[in-house]
Structure 1
Amino acid sequence: MKFVKKTKNTNTNGLTTNGKIKKVFVTYCTLIAVATFVSLSATTVFAADDPITVVNNLSDFIFGLIRAIGMILLGFGIVQIGLSLKSHDPSQRANGFLTLAGGVIITFAKEILSLITG
């Protein structure tokens, strides 16, 4: 029994473009690549006079990122606790409280380190 009839169609035509359109497209791509390279390579960098200021700025930036991650964990811990109270799941509740505690510690990591180091 034959359900599908196979036909041989070897005549496939691709899209045809003339030479002018290809030249315009290549010119456009080249201009975009050059503009991207120029804009990325011509950045102005202002150096600070004191190297300690640079290290402190980098430290503030990194601790800002860590604080953001801690806030995300705090929010996720609160959501986990709320869902565990709704579904009466003690293991999820424990995980929620652990995530909440970890989020608090990560959020206040800079203050904790400054208290430890004096």
Structure 2
Amino acid sequence: MKNIKTKNGKKMLLKLGVVSIYAVICSVVMATNVFAADDPIAVVNNLSNFIFGLIRAVGMIILGFGVVQVGMSLKSHDPTQRANGIMTLAGGTVITFAKEILTLITGGQ
């Protein structure tokens, strides 16, 4: 019985060592240098463009789902599903073009 416990303990210690080594290797390999930008406004604009790119991607996914939903409603002749599909299409369109809509509202700034 004692022999089984020591084997399990050694296996657990070996797994812990492998995980620790893997964590150290990942932290060394994935380390990147971060340099300060000359213009802080450029950094904010880059972040804004990145975030709006993510929002646009989500909007495109919702837009695609809306197209599928409308197509399925036309096949099944279900008016409530068709209404939901059209609402999803409208919401996906608004989310996809959110940056352009905000630019129009704020006057291009």
In the alignment, the residues of structure 2 paired with residue 116 and residue 101 of structure 1 have an alpha-carbon distance, to the nearest angstrom, of 18
| Deviation of 1:48 (Å) | 1.2
Equivalent residue pairs, number: 106
In the alignment, the residues of structure 2 paired with residue 88 and residue 20 of structure 1 have an alpha-carbon distance, to the nearest angstrom, of 64
User: Which amino acid is 1:32 matched to?
Assistant: Y
Compare the two structures and name the one with the higher helix fraction: 2
TM-score (norm 2): 0.79
Q: Does residue 36 of structure 1 match 2:46?
A: no
Ranges in structure 1 where 5+ consecutive residues have no aligned partner: 1-10
Between the aligned residues of both structures, percent identity stands at 67
CA RMSD, aligned part only? 2.9
Q: Between Structure 1 and Structure 2, whose CA radius of gyration is higher?
A: 1
Deviation digits for residues 19-55 of structure 1 (CA, Å, limit 9, x no counterpart): 9877766654442232233345x32112211010010
The secondary structure found in structure 2 opposite 1:82 is: helix
TM-score (norm 1): 0.74
Structure 1 residues 73-112: aligned runs within 5 Å: 73-112=62-101
